[in-house]
Amino acid sequence: MSPSLTAKTMNITLAIAPGFVRKKPLLGVAYLAAALRGRGHAVEVADLNIESALPDEDEGARWWDKDYVDNYLDANPGFLDSLCRRLAATKPDVLGFSAWHLNQPFTMALARHMRENYGPLFILMGGPDADSFFMCRHADAYVTGEGEHALIKIAELLPDKAALAAIPGVSMRLDGRLLKGGEALELPDLDALPLPDFSGFPLESYKHKKTLPISFNRGCRNCCAFCCMSSVWKKFRTRRPDAIYAEFVRDAEVYGADNLQVDCAAFNLDMQAVEGLCDRLIAWGREVRWSGMGLIRPDLEERMADKLAKAGCSRIDFGFESGSDHVLALMRKPFNAAMAEKVVRACAGAGIEVVLSIILGFPGENDEDVENTKRFLERNKRYITDLGVPNECGVGGGSPIDREPLRFGIRPESVTSCLGWETVDGSLTHVTRQKRVEEFCQWRLNAGFGEQKEKSIKLIGENYSRE
């Protein structure tokens, strides 16, 4: 997608409604901004998370909860309009909202208020959860899947709204009907995209200073049963080592970043590309730390762990989920507990912080499986930097257990909310899973894995409904 000017230019505002912990900029918005600016459009980024200075979830806020948002807006009259005045001041031809479950209530309130009070403008919703915004009748269009191509085509074809309905990845509201253009196009060569553009983001205001997100790939080579990644991206694509390295250099020299956080399913899905990147970073010699989600795999042994550490990798968050081979097989994880143990110890031995996530209550899990997980953690406690608060297994997002619940022993009629599902034999319900989570959290405290903190994903699941 080489930069070229379009015949017309538009003013496009990309807005992020409150709902996120204000740690760092959103990478997807920076990619969209770069793609649109490369076509000659004037793009303004409005990260209302930062500009509004609202409390975040660490301070007890629940922006994913519609009742919480409604009560907040009722108690603070004029606040919503102040945010809308900020957006209207950019004089957008297109106002695009970054659409996530986390910020859905606030996003929909902003769209409604903009539509009712600030004249005709084209409003669209785009992002990983955009399809859950179809009920928002104050939006003109919705972009699902990869957004660069779709957003460029929208800007190119407006104001011909009828033509937008044929764009892959775009759903268009026209004459009271929702017309869908089919699945989004996925760019085969990620390195054809311009580097994400963070100009216009309030970089000094994020909690993590001198920190930027970066992506090594899109999609995933695996298809874990609980994960919705395969429904978000259909194909796995990786970037070349020299392109990732160029972004490291740009982020350090242009933005002053000394810490990069890798935002993708797992940074090491293509280990050959990662090793090539490490060679370049080691030769560069600049001290830039980086971290991200990683995949447990056999070639992440001592030699590779040492190279990662020398290249600046300071922390890896592994989607470990269980210490039971039985459950790992049910989840379709591409490793077993023995492999996980070798990888955890190799990374810790190289000086890399190791963080493990846990999922409890996967269909088919039993008490002995949970005990196997505890034994694994006890055995490897000295190598584990942090153990996340366990997540109750949810069903949704187009994951394999969402698409084929019966295949995994789940009653299809019970899948009315993310955490409301039940197994056919009745052994796993939300109540029994919550009890398992609570007991595990108490064990976690007793075992010395740190203080328990409430996870937002648990609360999201309790409030997310398909209705």
DSSP E strand stretches across 267-394: 289-294, 313-321, 353-360, 386-387, 391-392
242 in the same domain as 112: no
Inter-CA distances, 293 with 215, 229, 335, Å: 11, 14, 16
CA 25 to chain centre: 12
Domain of 39, in residue numbers:
11-180
* Residue 1 structure tokens: 């997608």
In a domain, 340, yes or no: yes
165 in the same domain as 215: no
In a domain, 198, yes or no: no
User: How are beta strands 386-387 and 259-262 bridged, if at all?
Assistant: unpaired
111 in the same domain as 214: no
Q: Residue 456 — very low, low, confident or very high, per pLDDT cuts 50/70/90?
A: very low
Average per-residue pLDDT in the chain?
91
In a domain, 186, yes or no: no
Percent of the chain surpassing pLDDT 70: 95
Helix, strand or coil, per DSSP, at residue 247: helix
C-alpha–C-alpha distance, residues 221 and 237, integer Å: 9
Q: What digits encode the pLDDT tens for the residues 416-427?
A: 889 999 999 999
156 in the same domain as 254: no
Please tell me what DSSP assigns to residue 273: H
Q: What digits encode the pLDDT tens for the residues 339-390?
A: 999 999 999 999 999 999 999 999 999 999 999 999 999 999 999 999 988 9
C-alpha–C-alpha distance, residues 418 and 465, integer Å: 7
- DSSP characters over 72-117: HHHHSTTHHHHHHHHHHTT--SEEEEE--GGGHHHHHHHHHHHHHH
Task: Check if the beta carbon of residue 64 is closer than 8 Å to that of residue 101.
Answer: yes
C-alpha–C-alpha distance, residues 409 and 424, integer Å: 6
Question: Burial code of 115-136, b = ≥16 C-beta within 10 A, e = fewer?
Answer: beebeebbbbbbbbbbbbbeeb
- The pLDDT score that the predictor gives to residue 451 is 52
In a domain, 187, yes or no: no
366 in the same domain as 227: yes
- The pLDDT score that the predictor gives to residue 4 is 44
* Residue 141 structure tokens: 């269009």
33 in the same domain as 94: yes
Helix, strand or coil, per DSSP, at residue 198: coil
167 in the same domain as 214: no
Last residue within a domain, chosen from 163, 180, 197: 180
Q: What digits encode the pLDDT tens for the residues 59-74?
A: 788 888 999 999 999 9
220 in the same domain as 165: no
In a domain, 376, yes or no: yes
Asked whether residue 3 carries a pLDDT value surpassing 70, the answer given is no
Mean pLDDT of 400-408: 95
422 in the same domain as 277: yes
Task: Check if the beta carbon of residue 355 is closer than 8 Å to that of residue 318.
Answer: yes
* Residue 3 structure tokens: 């930069």
Q: What digits encode the pLDDT tens for the residues 289-338?
A: 999 999 999 999 999 999 999 999 999 999 999 999 999 999 999 999 99
The CATH number for 172's domain is: 3.40.50.280
- The pLDDT score that the predictor gives to residue 12 is 97
In a domain, 121, yes or no: yes
Amino acid at the residue 464:
Y
C-alpha–C-alpha distance, residues 96 and 126, integer Å: 7
The CATH number for 286's domain is: 3.80.30.20
* Residue 162 structure tokens: 């009828």
C-alpha–C-alpha distance, residues 180 and 154, integer Å: 14
167 in the same domain as 44: yes
Q: What digits encode the pLDDT tens for the residues 48-58?
A: 988 887 887 77
In a domain, 191, yes or no: no
Q: What is the pTM for the complete model shown? A: 0.90
In a domain, 193, yes or no: no
C-alpha–C-alpha distance, residues 125 and 438, integer Å: 37
Last residue within a domain, chosen from 160, 180, 200: 180
CA angle 113–144–135, rounded 5-degree value: 40
Residues 6+ apart with CB under 8 A from 115: 123, 138
* Residue 95 structure tokens: 């106002």
Last residue within a domain, chosen from 180, 197, 216: 180
C-alpha–C-alpha distance, residues 419 and 198, integer Å: 36
Q: What digits encode the pLDDT tens for the residues 117-140?
A: 997 899 999 988 888 888 788 899
340 in the same domain as 444: yes
Task: Check if the beta carbon of residue 316 is closer than 8 Å to that of residue 294.
Answer: yes
Specify the length of the chain in residues.
467
168 in the same domain as 270: no
Q: What is the CA radius of gyration of the chain?
A: 23
Q: What digits encode the pLDDT tens for the residues 141-192?
A: 999 889 999 999 999 999 888 889 899 999 988 887 888 888 888 999 999 9
Mean pLDDT of 229-236: 85
* Residue 283 structure tokens: 């030769």
When divided into structural domains, the chain yields a total of 2
Q: Residue 20 — very low, low, confident or very high, per pLDDT cuts 50/70/90?
A: confident
